[in-house]
Amino acid sequence: MSFGSRATVARQAYGPACVGIDPHPSLLEAWGLEDDVEGLDRFASTCVEAFAGKVAFAKPQAAFFERHGARGMAVLERTLQDLRHTGTLTVLDVKRGDVDSTAQAYADAYLDDDAPMAADAITVSPYLGLGSLEPFLQTAHKNDAGVFVLALTSNPSGPDVQHARTADGRTVAGRVLDHLREANADAEPMGSFGAVVGATIGSTEEDLDVNGPLLVPGYGAQGGTVADLERLFGHVWDAIIPTTSRGVLAAGPDVASLRAAAAKVNDELGVAGAGR
């Protein structure tokens, strides 16, 4: 099954929420763990126990593993492998972006189904040109994986680039969305190539229907509300994957409490999506 198909099934089975696995130093401390590889490993394994087969999507943030060096990356590799085939799809937040052979190497590292660090989907940056996305899209297609491309992010300086106009008058974000729409053409129930669109961007005149999934960071502790989601994504509700990290992880390290916090998020989103 393509990532788009698997994402649709997972949303229907568990709800749309994506729970971040973000071993930030402050969260390690809050969980009573040391900011070292042992604490990282304990944090990640607890998240796997809590969320595997309980939520549709889990999103490890690679940077918080990378900061611990090779041993930290080994923990990330094991986390991805432990989540595989549990019903929970992994979205590895790496925001890679490069050209030609380097982009292909990143794609092979994270999207090839036989790679040690294979994920169901990854995040990528388009700002080396839309052509730089092709190795990721092609490798994902070959391996039934997914790609989420930065389009409209919530960080304050994002509009400096994303709202800039190209020679044809389109915004950069609009060109990215157009490219994804073309890549997902005729896919059913939806394509495997999605956009990253922040829950707290306020408003947009862009067409967010790319016939693919929309990864929506910023829900919950970062300020995004159900009302924000309804306003921005009401017409594409069945495609959104709202992500939350601190709002759920703050309930740790107790596994039952983590599961309950994730279930609460899905309940909130389920009420909002009822009858659509």
What's residue 14's pLDDT?
97
Number of domains in the chain: 1
From first to last of its 276 residues, the chain has per-residue pLDDT tens of 999 999 999 999 999 999 999 999 999 999 999 999 999 999 999 999 999 999 999 999 999 999 999 999 999 999 999 999 999 999 999 999 999 899 999 999 999 999 999 999 999 999 999 999 999 999 999 999 999 999 999 898 999 999 999 999 999 999 999 999 999 999 999 999 999 999 999 999 999 999 999 999 999 888 899 999 999 999 999 999 999 999 999 999 999 999 999 999 999 999 877 756
CA-based R_g, the chain, Å: 18
Residue 206 structure tokens: 């862009």
Active site residues: 95
pLDDT at 220: 87
Instruction: Reduce the DSSP state of residue 90 to 3 states and report it.
Output: strand
Q: Report pLDDT for 243.
A: 97
- Give 249's contacts (C-beta < 8 A, 6+ positions apart): 19, 20, 22, 27, 47, 258
> The CATH number of the domain where 168 resides is what?
3.20.20.70
Report residue 96 as tokens: 């890679």
Domain assignment of residue 77, given as a range: 3-273
C-alpha angle 193/2/119, rounded to 5°? 75
pLDDT at 108: 98
